[in-house]
Amino acid sequence: MYYTPTHDTPILLDSSTIVIISSSTIAKQVLKIQDQAFSTYRFIPNAIQAHNYCKFSVAFLPVCPQWRTLKLILNKNIFSSNSLDANQHLRSQKVKELIDYCTKCSQQGKAVDIGQVAFKTSLIFLSNTLFSKDLADPFSDSKVELKEVVLKNIIDEMGNPNLVDFFPILEKIDLQGTRHRTTIHIGKLFKLFDGLINEQLEEKRRFQSEKSDVLNVFLDICEENPEDINHNYIKSVFLDLLVVGTDTTTKTLEWIMAEILKQPEIMKKVQTELEEIIGKGKSIEEVDVSRLPYLQCIIKETLRLHPFAPFLVPCKVEQDVELCGYIVPKGSQVLVNVWEICRDSTFWEDPLVFKPEVKELIAYCEKYSQQGEALDVGHVAFKTNLSLLSNTFFSKDFADPFSDSKVELKDVIWGVMSEVGKPNLVDFFPILEKNDFQGIRCCTTIYFGKLFELFDELINERLEEKRMFCNERSDVLEAFLNFSEENPQEINHNHIKSMFLDLFGVGTDTTTSTFEWAMTEIFKQPEVMKKIQVELAEIIGKGKPIEEADISRLPYLQCIIKETLRMHSPVPFLVPRKVEQDVQLCDYIIPKGSQLQVLVNVWAIGRDCTFWKDPLVFKPERFLSSNLNMRGQDFELISFGAGQRICPGLPLALRMVPVMLGSLLNSFNWKLEAQTLSQKN
């Protein structure tokens, strides 16, 4: 027996060969490109051979006429849009019962076992859909045996590693007793299903009536095609549905609640979304889901971190198959390691962190797309950046891209940037300082005061938290406070507040401005839009958001960012400099003087026709064959400055802007609002 720890590795155990797929690239090859070779047959674990369950189960049957018939029945009668719509009232009713039960527990001060009530709610819905019967009551402990059989026993036995699956020679011995116990548990369920089938057949015979449930559909097909579908298929499919339908929903809901309780800011954010869109205390309907993008993000992030099936159902190859230059020998098990793929650090940033915000911006835009409404790109870009920065600095959200709350903070930051960027007569005629004719000093005093008051509250809140609970967070505020405590002479709270003002002002305004200009230029040149979308589709895949690790593989996207910053620098003049003594500059003397400013005109440098060909034309291709970058070494492109005073936020901007721009361009087909209105008219 040996094991070689490579990324996609064959493991040889006795006579069984197992190939584990742990990368998304190879998974795509197995599940999509070479799907026929790998999906026709399933590997059959020893435990589920009990009662010949695997010979009739839609999950384990090979691709054959019976499998296609069963799949067609399920798709048409359970999972089709019409069937789901027809049963929506039933799901809504069961969710209401779940809420009533939790309300009762809350009133009595009792803890709620989320897993138990989620299981029973799922079981009730499925049993009503399948048999028109309730097999569990969420308000009592009745039918505990069924829960024990379905969840605790069958699922546990199927999920436990079984030596027989790796050493087939042990099959007759059943050392662990797994096959024996599964035979008992499946036998109990099949006995229950037999009773329900016979009951419905007797009902049809006596009353000539038919129910509109899945069992009735199966019985009708069985009667018409007894050679294709018999009662064994019906019982095995119902076992598939009950096991998968209850266990997956239960695990996902439990993990969601566990992650949300660990991060109160996520709990607060999703509750805010629900309150603003649905209304405080109201239950949501299925039609509301598309209007709740952050809730959808939480579910996606939970399924990424905690897939209910860490390994997909094992495939089995019936002949030698070539896979990415390797030969998968006949008879091998092929396992797709979903758990590992979803934690792949080459694709996911911070893969072990529960972070629903990763796809938040796209979900918000998708809502507008579905509603056919115009989107204020600058508005959502600003809020996305503000949310990112506030979480990084304070572990708090200062803005929710899905609501108009916190508008004041947005207005304050934009107000600061607007006032600071205005030409102020006082800066050129110091004698006017006391008059403040334009009111700029007055306005900035008000805006600064509001922000500093907020920062004071956050600092005091954190200090109190540290004092009471002796715990530390891993954010920027914590680092500043620790440094200030160790070096009070060097850094105090005034330094901290001013630093945060710098970061918020520059971090939101510059990124938003660049993002808006990039979208504007791309709209003006459809061929650029088409070219970048082709690059994204080929390298990332159509409709997928991009991650920071992808940026280096997207040269045309990088060219668009560079060209945007060349033509539309967020700061046309870099922050003014002042010389404290006479300085010789290229045969000129810059005289010492308190009133002398040195301004670097980045806007003009980016349009200098002696260096740039066609400088007024937006042409990303000019950078494809150029090694120019924006890190302060190439002075023809210094949107972020250079030298000691280069913008410290440069690394973050060079990550954030491409991710936002590339994700939105790859996820949607964009039109200007005027174009959309003219098409409607």
- Tokens standing for residue 283: 């239950």
Q: Which residues are annotated as a binding site for heme?
A: 647
Contact between 237 and 329 (Cβ < 8 Å): no
Chain length of the chain: 681
The HSE-up count of residue 272 (CA atoms within 13 Å, CB side) is 17
Residue 155 DSSP label:
I
Strand partners, 575: none
Backbone angles phi, psi at 323, to 5 degrees: -135, 110
At 614 the three-state DSSP class reads coil
Contact between 328 and 320 (Cβ < 8 Å): yes
| Inter-CA distances, 228 with 232, 237, 370, 602, Å | 11, 14, 43, 76
Instruction: Give residues with Cβ within 8 angstroms of 254, minimum separation 6.
Output: 114, 115, 118
| Inter-CA distances, 277 with 88, 260, 273, 297, 588, Å | 20, 20, 6, 16, 63
Q: Which residues are annotated as a binding site?
A: 647
For CA atoms 306, 307, 309, 310, the dihedral sign is: negative
Between β-strands 315-316 and 333-336, what pairing exists: parallel, antiparallel or unpaired?
A: antiparallel
Tokens 């003049």 belong to 573
Contact between 419 and 501 (Cβ < 8 Å): no
How many CB atoms lie under 10 A from the CB of residue 183?
Answer: 16
HEC profile of 260-312: HHHCHHHHHHHHHHHHHHCCCCCCCCHHHHHHCHHHHHHHHHHHHHCCCCCEC
